[in-house]
Amino acid sequence: MSTEAYVSSHIEHGINTIEFFHPQSNSLPGKILDDLAKEIHFAGTHEETKVIILKSGGDRTFCSGASFDELVAIRTEAEGLKFFKGFANVINAMRKCPRLIIGRIQGKCVGGGVGLASAVDYAIATNKADIKLSELAVGIGPFVVGPAVERKIGTAAFSALAIDATTWRNCEWARKKGLFAEMHENIENMDESVYRLANTLAHSNPNAMAEMKKIFWKGTEHWDELLKERAAISGRLVLSAFTKNAIEKFKMKS
């Protein structure tokens, strides 16, 4: 297993697999967010790509959200806006990509990780994929990922997750709320399902899938501006003494 953070992509038989990894539980620093947005955008313009699989390295955590090291290093509103716009750029790249994106969710999703799982078009998970929107617990809120999560699971479930920021919801809860389309007992069964669906979609009509995707995401056309506004809110809040202290306490625990 690599100990270096990376984003990689690999195309085979029309299936473009985009993988990200960070040694700190697949957290998301700015560099990984930038690279992910670029890879997803490129895959959407690539003729060979018929379908995308989004996955992360390792077998325990799908994504633990924002990098705490980078959060505590933010010193100005401009820096805060730039960092949180990284999440906005990834979600908007997924939203606007004309290819369907399958999410391979092998483990826990926290904060921004729930946002990624919400922004894929079809999420396939294992029964270890518990979720938590932890942002309020560190003094901010799920502002940037919120629209993606709310779109996928509804306002009531999103509100419950956002308000009770310290409690894990299990993968069965997430499946019932519509975050996960499928849940499997182990990684092998999940992967079998991921590649079965990817192979089927790679042989489906790309124009039909692109038109379907437009319908699925109808009503989100304003998200370029909305998510930027939300990033600015997070960028301001992360500068407060309350938030700095909360993040430091969180870092010491983890």
pLDDT band at 81 (very low <50, low <70, confident <90, very high): very high
Query: Does the pLDDT of residue 198 top 90, yes or no?
Result: yes
Sheet strands side by side (includes 101-105): 6-12, 15-21, 51-56, 101-105, 122-126, 182-184
Residue 123 lies in a domain: yes
What average pLDDT score do residues 237-243 get? 94
What average pLDDT score do residues 118-122 get? 98
- Predicted pLDDT at 248: 86
Look at residues 62, 76, 52, 54 and name the one whose alpha carbon lies nearest to residue 22. Answer: 62
- Predicted pLDDT at 1: 54
Query: Each residue of 141-170: pLDDT tens digit?
Result: 999 999 999 999 999 999 999 999 999 999
Query: Does the pLDDT of residue 253 top 90, yes or no?
Result: no
- Predicted pLDDT at 254: 64
Query: Does the pLDDT of residue 8 top 80, yes or no?
Result: yes
Residue 138 lies in a domain: yes
The dihedral sign for the CA sequence 198, 202, 205, 207: positive
- 132: its two tokens: 């938590």
- Predicted pLDDT at 61: 98
Strand partners of residue 254? none
Residue 23 lies in a domain: yes
The residue among 69 and 120 whose pLDDT is bigger is: 120
Query: Does the pLDDT of residue 125 top 70, yes or no?
Result: yes
Task: Tell me the CATH number at 118.
Answer: 3.90.226.10
Strand partners of residue 7? 20
Residue 239 lies in a domain: no
222 contacts: CB under 8 Å, gap ≥ 6: none
141: containing domain? 6-187
Burial class (CB in 10 A: 0-12, 13-18, 19+), 201: buried
Sequence letter at residue 202: A
Query: Each residue of 25-71: pLDDT tens digit?
Result: 999 999 999 999 999 999 999 999 999 999 999 999 999 999 999 99
**141: number of CA atoms within 13 Å, CB side?**
13
- Looking at the 3D structure of the chain, how many domains does it have? 1
Look at residues 76, 87, 37 and name the one whose alpha carbon lies nearest to residue 230. Answer: 87
- Predicted pLDDT at 52: 98
Residue 238 lies in a domain: no
Residue 231 lies in a domain: no
- Predicted pLDDT at 2: 66
Which DSSP helix (H) or strand (E) runs through 234? helix 223-237
Residue 221 lies in a domain: no
Residue 124 lies in a domain: yes
